Structure 1
């Protein structure tokens, strides 16, 4: 077939024809691995894509979660991958959490599910002081705990918006950790994912911010399962994880360098809480199985080809990566259409989708090659391109 390239030309491409087969792992993983999953829209029920609650295809959305669980992966639910704050509102996220937790409890593998708690159900004008921010978090934490999920304290836009310093972060997170029922996961999302989060933990300097959040963790380490860091900075993550108290995990959110970070250096390693794992689930699952068996060569053979795909999906502007996750799901038949809440599929250009198609194939991730090619041709046609 003919695919567009960034130099404005159509170039021939032939599928490799060697996809991985999704399957259950044959032994337990030695790394905790959460895949952050997206929400599947229901185009027939959608009435006003840019306003109000999105229409969700609940059957397809939950089926995708089973697909991840069946391969031994945990789930990070209602996170930014699910378009929290970018198309999916809190009422929808709440229903998603409650539906997902009912499914998880019935699943034979008893998968781990951690759910994002934030402040996005409140308008910015209602979040002008730390007490209001704490109360907003508390409301969402209560919903997650009532449903039986583990809490992820998502980074909130409200704290940078009020110019909060390290002392404010310490008070806010101290209160939240103190009242959490179980251990929680903290969340450090860089401004490449959300520009409104610049200066999180109280300052623009990443080293000072690291000191601030490490002090929060040290003060209540018994209430912290781990911290997810998504700064796309391998050296920083490697230095940071060495400073964590014993028993507190580093969950990498680095969608550029996850392979080496998860493997580690023999003394320290990262666990995973990654949006890309939803798109590369067969490779991620089988690589983690290989790592658990001590087969580093097979681990890298499976994961290394996925890194170029992840770097393409998470290219700048990084916050639009969600379109690539849904695109791969559509190619693989996990959903019947390529429509996203708020029309988010339009956030990336056709040359991006063409490159993601090539790289997914080369990473052995087009599980149904004939279907993937048919759907890629459909997308090309919508852009006025004859794929040959």
Structure 2
């Protein structure tokens, strides 16, 4: 149901009230002021009646329901009585169209309660505040899209099944884009969940939600994608804070009761990790030494073939020219102070022996460290099992 109110009628009624009050004042003034004042009032009335009238459209809609509820075996306990009652609610919505691009929407619920007569606003009982304004927001149609600002419907998305709405303070932006046989809607929402920055006790403690969405509506189908970012700086409810505090207190108590075992677990775990790391390092060193020993042994065998073919006194310079694969080994022997192939054989034989010894030592150390790490790990697991018991 819609009604149209003309602001000219409102102005005229207001003028009559104003004129009645003003006439009382006029009678108290001196006679010489009466004619001037009455003339001014008449001119004002003429001016008001000549101002173009602007129409504002107000639409109303709502609902009232009474329903009965029967819950049998509500708590899955056969000894419980049936829960039977009636409840009601009046919901009233207004839509004020100021211009074609600006609307104000409000909604309130009244007497949303269990149906019985002993609670009443007139007896100062529980329904003393029986009118609850739950929504009020502006709808602004701009050249760049639709804006809705204020307390409005939130939380819902997608299908209506199992999708409960809530009243949320938010700014919502929607941009429709014609595409194909339907429309693509781009949406963005900023929602203020809790405001915790008012005052001087806290700073930057608000809880906010941000949404981005894309939705396509065709002739026979629609689908979309919604993504959200929750920027929460504080617990939503005291219950969350108390639950966290309680969990931390229980953890502290368990830590105190299991102190020795906890220390053993931590110590054994740390030691196992350290020895495991040492075993890995020793294995890497053993591999490096083994590779160098193999290179030295290969160089010794190469110089031995040179001695057999050219003689032990063959110079390392001539050897490098004759056997290019031994050029790097010749440089190493020259750097160590040796000059002939025979001296190089002895040098690389000794080096191979020492490097092989080092590789063997690191290999043995790695095996020992790994065994120790496993022993500490087993001790830590035993302590963990004891703590679990």
- TM-score normalized with structure 1 length: 0.21
Larger Rg: 2
**Greater relative contact order structure (CA < 8 Å, 6+ sep):** 1
- TM-score normalized with structure 2 length: 0.21
